[in-house]
Amino acid sequence: MHGIVLLDKPLGLSSNAALQRVRRLYDRAKAGHAGTLDPLATGMLPIFLGEATKFIQHVISAHKAYRATIAFGSETATADREGDIVVSEALPTATRAELDTVLLRFVGRIHQRPPMYSAIKRDGVPMYKLARQGEQVEVPEREVEIKHIEVIAYSPDALELDVICGSGTYIRSLGVDIGRALGSAAHLAELRRRWVSPFETLPMVSLETLNDSADPSVYVLPIDRAMTQFPAITLDIDALTELKFGRRVTGRAENDGRYRLYAIDGSFVGLGHDRRQDHAS
């Protein structure tokens, strides 16, 4: 079985634990997921099985959408509700109009400092392991992209947001930064990933549904569904033969020099790269 399962990761389960359950269910030696979700978070976790793992990188770097609930009044060591409180402040007094003005600061390309409790590695060791050992390490800021923020609900003690962001964005850090910008303190209370591009309109499946299914293969998407952002090219038999021998074939892409390759019968061959664009000025 080779393909992609759009798992609805449950609360309290790590992304790796969820991955291993799906891998065992489909009896695959190779499997991987596109974008870690903390145990606190729920929602879409694309799991790639077998040969599909070769294409994970094209989804890891894609935009993702979240529904986040931010609690005001305190910051925690982990920047979410599971950590010990390290800062307490009065609740924000901003009006809705003032809130909207503050949120505009966080839309676009911004600099963000990831939380200490994160999977980012220093000298090969995840930061969260260093934090658990009591080490205080300054996590460097990095540039991330937040494409869209929409307020769903706002009260003095909490803020519910829809966020669309690029790869590497930490919603926990966003919550902390918003709290500080409002003159208060904040941490992430709840988080659900609504979708991962290019799967915006596709349904997720729960572990319970997979376990209870008489035929879990019906929940496996074809590999090429992860690459719909690239134009498609159909190769005739001669071109396909040339490609198999490592020779160049004709065809030019319109999107970053990459394109999906198909045989005449419609079967997916792989992802191609137009090397002529490497030298384009």
Question: Which pLDDT tens digit goes with each residue over 182-199?
Answer: 999 999 999 999 999 999
**C-alpha R_g of the chain:** 22
Q: Are residues 182 and 83 part of one domain?
A: yes
Write out the two tokens for 123: 């000298």
The CATH code of the domain that includes 89 is: 3.30.2350.10
Catalytic (active site) residue 215:
no
What pLDDT is recorded for position 115? 83
**Which residue in 8, 27, 38, 238 is the catalytic one?**
38
What pLDDT is recorded for position 281? 35
Q: Are residues 270 and 174 part of one domain?
A: no
Burial-class residue 180 by CB neighbours within 10 Å (0-12, 13-18, 19+).
middle
Q: Are residues 257 and 234 part of one domain?
A: yes
What pLDDT is recorded for position 212? 97
Which residues does residue 191 pair with via DSSP β-bridges, in sequence order?
Answer: 68
CA distances in angstroms from 178 to 89, 181, 219, 230, listed in the order given? 13, 5, 38, 35
Q: What b/e sequence results for 121-130 when a residue is b if at least 16 CB atoms lie within 10 Å of its CB, and e otherwise?
A: eeeeeebbeb
- Rounded Cα distance, 218 and 1, in Å: 11
Q: Are residues 189 and 137 part of one domain?
A: yes
Inter-residue contact 199 to 205 (CB < 8 Å)? no
DSSP character string of 133-158: TT---PPPPEEEEEEEEEEEEEETTE
Question: Could you give the number of structural domains in the chain?
Answer: 3
Convert the pLDDT of each residue in 65-104 to its tens digit: 999 999 999 999 999 999 999 999 999 999 999 999 999 9
Query: Residue 175 carries which side chain, given as an amino acid letter?
Result: G
What pLDDT is recorded for position 247? 65
Q: Are residues 202 and 191 part of one domain?
A: no
What pLDDT is recorded for position 234? 87
What pLDDT is recorded for position 253? 45
Q: Are residues 262 and 181 part of one domain?
A: no
Inter-residue contact 23 to 157 (CB < 8 Å)? no
The whole-model pTM stands at 0.88
**Angle at CA of residue 45, ends 170 and 152, nearest 5°:** 55
Q: Are residues 30 and 128 part of one domain?
A: no
Helix (H, G, I), strand (E, B) or coil at 42: strand
In this prediction, the residues of the chain whose per-residue pLDDT falls under 70 are 119, 121-123, 126-127, 130-131, 133, 245-256, 275-281
What pLDDT is recorded for position 203? 98
Domain range for residue 165? 64-196
What pLDDT is recorded for position 279? 45
